[in-house]
A and B are shown apart, each in its own frame.
Chain A
Amino acid sequence: MNAAHAGRAFRAILWRELLRFVQQRERFFAALVRPLVWLLVFAAGFRATLGLSIIPPYETYITYDVYVVPGLIGLIQLFNGMQNSLSMVYDREMGSMRVLLSTPLPRGYLLVARMLSGTAVSIIQVYAFLAIAALCGTELPPSGLLPLLPVLVLTGLTLSALGMFLSSRIRQLENFAGVMNFLIFPMFFMSSALYPLWRVRESSLLLYELCRFNPFTYIVELVRSTLYLQFNATALAVVVGTLLVFGAAALIGYTPARGGPAAGRGGG
């Protein structure tokens, strides 16, 4: 594989993913509406009832809608990762995964290109969401928006790797609803996305421990600290570790030695 070939292939995979995103207008609006509902409806209700003390990285009292934004950024990327997973299962059933994986490029490169393309789509969604949130009056630190970009690449890749791993295990599109129920929602709710962990500990120690072992918590905290220009080494280490684990699992999942889910089983 030479660099020119790798570059062309990556641009093609990215172009196809972006085109698919633009063509599926419902997907674009759903990706925006979902976090906005949380922000404009859920957070508005909680704003009056939930008091937040000053906790890092915040240096002053904040309103609930400000607190919940990093969690909703995580939610956007989590759903996008699952959307990627769904689209990979679909591609596999439609056969286009076979076309991709039988091209003369290393399998690992193709899968990473696919994950990066999905991540790029999620980053567009995140910044569109942040723009609308700001227009709706949620105060966010403008200086944190640019440093957030590399972090979003990292967190997006981590959740894409999770999605890709899942797609290697899910045999049929119909099984996807189960993943939604048993993975996405517990990951989101059992994290610091909606409530600070000290609040969770006050109500349930068990739930607190579950939140601490949930990698999504660290994704949210990494986004939160970066937005406020603070370095959270623990969150960064956990997110990188999670990326490596799920990335390796996805690569193993798509290895031809085990038949490879992309190959399917022929009838002839």
Chain B
Amino acid sequence: MDAAPTQDASNRDAADQPAVPVLRVTGLSYAYGKTKALDDVSLELSSGRVTALLGPNGAGKTTLFSLITGLFDSRQGAIEIASHAIRRARSKALAQLGIVFQAQTLDLDLSVEQNLRYFAALRGLPGGTAQQRIAALLEEIGLTEKAKAKVRTLSGGQRRRVEVARALLDRPALLLLDEPSTGLDISTRRWLVEHIHRIAREDGIAILMATHLVDEVMPEDDLLVLNKGRIVARGPVEQVIRHSGGADLDEAFTRLTAKGEAPS
């Protein structure tokens, strides 16, 4: 089943300026043993756009992210980040990528600043550049005064802010967020959604945000609906709602994921 609108999420601005997609996934499949997690997934993301990857639990969102980040490898299909194939030019592809994982991944025993400095060094940023970026990002996320605080002492929302800052340290072309609002309170969720839309707009970053919460999707976003390993709808939010026959995104999501068939 594919209730997909014909227009691809990445092609909205094609008439204005044909741009190379920041992320191109083609015919990607992956299985855990005999259980298929992703089945022939293709997508493209353009810079400056937020694409919401909407899917219920177990849809394959995290598997897709693990493949894009090179933590998994699949022989079926291809992934290119800024025209670098992850299989052939892993380092160049990952150099363009920032990621916020679903689980929190900061070192609890290090301070906020130490965590960021550690990651900046892993990304190869020189000390001076790293220091400037850290200061600017901490100010941006409103945690300058927490720079020396151990991460263990921060709230869940503050930790998530630090993770967003960490993902942006090296000015990535593509930012992946895997269910970033998990466990956050409403105000932090709102801050997060607003913040990622702002950085997409102002810094021209392509953002792919996995979520299963429809209220995190903004009307101007592109949408990919993943169900049981398959993309069952794609396009601008309005269009997906219209094609699904639902009254709103909530209803559209319910319809689309209820009708999804399991990959064989």
A, B: real partners: yes
Number of interface residues of A (CB under 8 A): 37
**Given A12-B122, A98-B105; A103-B94 close (CB under 8 Å):** yes
Whether A98 contacts B32 by the Cβ 8 Å rule is: no
B69 — nearest CB in chain A belongs to which residue?
A102
A20 to B109, CA, bound (A): 8
Can you sample 23 A-B contacts with CB below 8 Å? A2-B124, A9-B122, A9-B124, A12-B118, A12-B121, A19-B114, A95-B101, A95-B105, A96-B107, A99-B122, A102-B69, A102-B70, A103-B123, A104-B90, A104-B91, A104-B95, A260-B72, A260-B73, A266-B65, A266-B178, A268-B102, A268-B178, A268-B212
User: Nearest chain B CB to A36's CB is how many angstroms away?
Assistant: 27
Given A8-B125, A98-B71, 20 extra CB contacts under 8 A: A4-B124, A12-B117, A15-B118, A94-B103, A95-B103, A95-B105, A96-B107, A102-B99, A103-B123, A104-B90, A105-B122, A256-B72, A263-B66, A263-B71, A266-B61, A266-B65, A266-B102, A268-B60, A268-B179, A268-B212
A11 to B121, CA, bound (A): 8
Whether A8 contacts B124 by the Cβ 8 Å rule is: yes
B244 at the interface (CB under 8 A from A): no
A9 — nearest CB in chain B belongs to which residue?
B122
A100 at the interface (CB under 8 A from B): yes
A12 to B114, CA, bound (A): 10
B239 at the interface (CB under 8 A from A): no
Which residues does chain B contribute within 8 Å of A267, judged by CB atoms? Answer: 57-58, 62, 102
User: Nearest chain A CB to B174's CB is how many angstroms away?
Assistant: 12
A16 at the interface (CB under 8 A from B): yes
Which residues does chain B contribute within 8 Å of A126, judged by CB atoms? Answer: none
Most buried by A among B57, B106, B122: B122
Whether A103 contacts B122 by the Cβ 8 Å rule is: yes
- Number of A-B residue pairs, CB cutoff 8 Å, is 114
Per-position 1/0 for B96-114, Cβ under 8 A of A: 0101011111111110001
B173 at the interface (CB under 8 A from A): no
Per-position 1/0 for B50-69, Cβ under 8 A of A: 00000101111111011001
A13 — nearest CB in chain B belongs to which residue?
B122
Whether B70 contacts A95 by the Cβ 8 Å rule is: no
> Which residue of A9, A94, A257, A268 is within 8 Å of B61 (Cβ)?
A268
Which residues does chain A contribute within 8 Å of B69, judged by CB atoms? Answer: 98, 102
Per-position 1/0 for A212-234, Cβ under 8 A of B: 00000000000000000000000
Size bracket, chain B contacts: 35 or more
A106 at the interface (CB under 8 A from B): yes
> Which residue of A15, A102, A265 is within 8 Å of B94 (Cβ)?
A102
**Given A23-B109, A104-B91; A263-B72 close (CB under 8 Å):** yes
A255 to B73, CA, bound (A): 9
A13 to B103, CA, bound (A): 21
A105 — nearest CB in chain B belongs to which residue?
B91
B residues 115-157 near A (Cβ < 8 Å) are: 117-119, 121-126
Which residues does chain A contribute within 8 Å of B201, judged by CB atoms? Answer: none
A contact set with B: CB distance below 8 Å: 1-2, 4-5, 8-9, 11-13, 15-16, 19-20, 23, 94-96, 98-106, 255-257, 259-260, 262-263, 265-268
Q: Is the interface of A mostly helix, strand, loop or mixed?
A: helix
Whether A9 contacts B121 by the Cβ 8 Å rule is: yes
Whether B210 contacts A1 by the Cβ 8 Å rule is: no
B residues 155-182 near A (Cβ < 8 Å) are: 178-179
User: Nearest chain B CB to A141's CB is how many angstroms away?
Assistant: 39
B92 at the interface (CB under 8 A from A): yes
A71 to B142, CA, bound (A): 53
User: Nearest chain A CB to B199's CB is how many angstroms away?
Assistant: 20
Which residues does chain A contribute within 8 Å of B117, judged by CB atoms? Answer: 12
A174 to B66, CA, bound (A): 25
Which residues does chain B contribute within 8 Å of A4, judged by CB atoms? Answer: 124, 126
A40 to B97, CA, bound (A): 54
A60 to B60, CA, bound (A): 68
B109 — nearest CB in chain A belongs to which residue?
A23
A44 to B102, CA, bound (A): 54
Which residues does chain B contribute within 8 Å of A256, judged by CB atoms? Answer: 70-73
Per-position 1/0 for B199-225, Cβ under 8 A of A: 000000000001010000000000000
**Given A104-B94, A256-B71; A99-B110 close (CB under 8 Å):** no
Whether B104 contacts A95 by the Cβ 8 Å rule is: yes
B122 — nearest CB in chain A belongs to which residue?
A103
Which residues does chain B contribute within 8 Å of A1, judged by CB atoms? Answer: 91
Which residues does chain B contribute within 8 Å of A268, judged by CB atoms? Answer: 55, 57-63, 102, 178-179, 210, 212
B117 — nearest CB in chain A belongs to which residue?
A12
